[in-house]
Amino acid sequence: MAPSLDMIGGQSIQAARLLEGLKEAPEIEAELLPSNPTLPELLRPLQRIKFARTIVNTLATIILLLVRLPRYDIVQVYAASYLSFFLVPTPTVLIAKLYGKRVIMHYHSGEAEDHLSRWYWMAAPIIRLADVTIVPSGYLVDVFARFGLPARAIFNIALVDAYPFRERKPFRPVFFTSRSHEPLYNVACVLRAFARIQRRYPKAILTVGGDGWQRTQLEQLARDLDLRNTIFTGRIPFDHMPAVYDAHDVYLMGNDIDNMPNSITECFAAGLPVVSTNAGGVPYIVKHEETGLLVNCGDHESLAANAIRLIEDQELAAGIARRAREECARYTWLLVKEQWLEVYRALVQPKAASESGRSLSQAESVHKL
């Protein structure tokens, strides 16, 4: 249970990559139940109305669950924070348990700590109903542990081969950022940093990918800062991203909250050095001065200074890009696959078999996910 690629984002991309990878596992039969279901044509106009969309999508999702869940052995639900948690993961877990199914809570949100602080009394019982909780980073394992909730980390899948590594000689002041235009991603921090970068490099270029309700405000801020060579592209199609990374030399990120952004591992693969704030789980995947450069959240001056540092110290930039590419091996399907299969097998094995360490062979059973 996850968003389909009709709603491009971290969850939908990771769900699609996992489903594609599981085609290689003959013991697994996996399907997507979209949390953004396509409604009958007569009801689709309701999806264009803010509150009506929430109501009809939730009702459609519940109906989908009631009809489809009986055919599966394991239900894996992708979860975010706040209201979203109660609209999709909560009914999914409850209905799955009603049918006696095994449940994986696959929690992705970098806002977990605030969510659990505010809504622990409602969220924790649902999380505890799941048979296992999987998160994409050690950061969220630590967050959950602080609330007495066990979790296991399995990294997001990076399609390393889809992002050809380009050795940049030299690194140019050609910058890229691509996050949703929402407050937690603090794209304004990147714009303010770029204003300082342009004082040093008047011809520097910044491409701002992504979209969101703050876009008009951010475009106005760019004008107020008198930024030149700053291009707002809107949402970039997923299959265009390799070429976009290849066209730039440094990636900037000003997030205040995050977990394990796909964009960082994609930059690692493409040879694009990352300069980022140290939000949430970012320091768990970016090692300062080894695989990227980190600054404190909200510190646009340091973000600019470290971006300039890469341009002026080409050896440092090349070393970071090379080591980051090597780091990508941790996120490939080859390694992640076995971790997921281990989880699925453990959930369907009889307790006695699990205790004795005996695993089911592929010939013994096909497990439906």
What average pLDDT does range 240-266 have in this prediction? 93
pLDDT of residue 10: 80
Inter-axis angle of helices 262-270 and 314-327, nearest 10: 110
pLDDT of residue 299: 98
**Hey, is 293 helix, strand or coil?**
strand
- The pLDDT tens digits of the residues spanning 276-316 come to 999 989 999 999 999 999 999 999 999 999 999 999 999 99
pLDDT of residue 44: 66
- The pLDDT tens digits of the residues spanning 70-127 come to 999 999 999 999 988 999 999 999 999 999 999 999 999 889 999 999 999 999 999 9
Given a cut of 70, is residue 148 above it in pLDDT? yes
- The pLDDT tens digits of the residues spanning 182-200 come to 999 999 999 999 999 999 9
Mean pLDDT over each residue of the chain, to the nearest integer: 90
Question: What ranges do the domains of the chain cover?
Answer: 10-157+333-368, 160-329
Backbone angles phi, psi at 295, to 5 degrees: -135, 170
Contact 46, 60 (CB under 8 A): no
Question: What is the Cα–Cα distance from 52 to 33, expressed in whole angstroms?
Answer: 21
* CATH code 3.40.50.300 for 160-329: no
Given a cut of 60, is residue 361 above it in pLDDT? no
Q: Report CA torsion sign: 38, 44, 50, 52.
A: negative
Written as six digits, the tokens of 95 are 């209905």
Given a cut of 80, is residue 353 above it in pLDDT? no
pLDDT of residue 334: 87
pLDDT of residue 50: 66
pLDDT of residue 192: 98
**Residue 274 forms beta bridges with which residues?**
251
Amino acid (one-letter) located at 146? R
pLDDT of residue 355: 40
Strand ranges inside the chain, DSSP E: 28-29, 74-79, 102-107, 132-135, 152-153, 174-178, 205-209, 230-234, 250-253, 274-277, 293-295, 367-368
Correct CATH for 10-157+333-368 of 1.20.1050, 1.20.1440, 3.40.50, 1.10.760 = 3.40.50
Backbone angles phi, psi at 77, to 5 degrees: -110, 125
- Nearby residues of 9 by Cβ (< 8 Å), 6 or more positions away: 3, 180
- Nearby residues of 300 by Cβ (< 8 Å), 6 or more positions away: 189, 190, 192, 193, 196, 254
* Residues above pLDDT 70, as percent of the chain: 92
Please tell me if the domain spanning 10-157+333-368 has the same topology as the one spanning 160-329: yes
What average pLDDT does range 19-39 have in this prediction? 89
For residue 166, give Cα distances in angstroms to 135, 240, 349: 31, 16, 45
pLDDT of residue 360: 37
pLDDT of residue 43: 67
Given a cut of 60, is residue 6 above it in pLDDT? yes
pLDDT of residue 210: 93
- The pLDDT tens digits of the residues spanning 45-78 come to 666 666 676 787 888 889 989 999 999 999 999 9
- The pLDDT tens digits of the residues spanning 212-235 come to 999 999 999 999 999 999 999 999
For residue 135, give Cα distances in angstroms to 93, 221, 325: 16, 35, 23
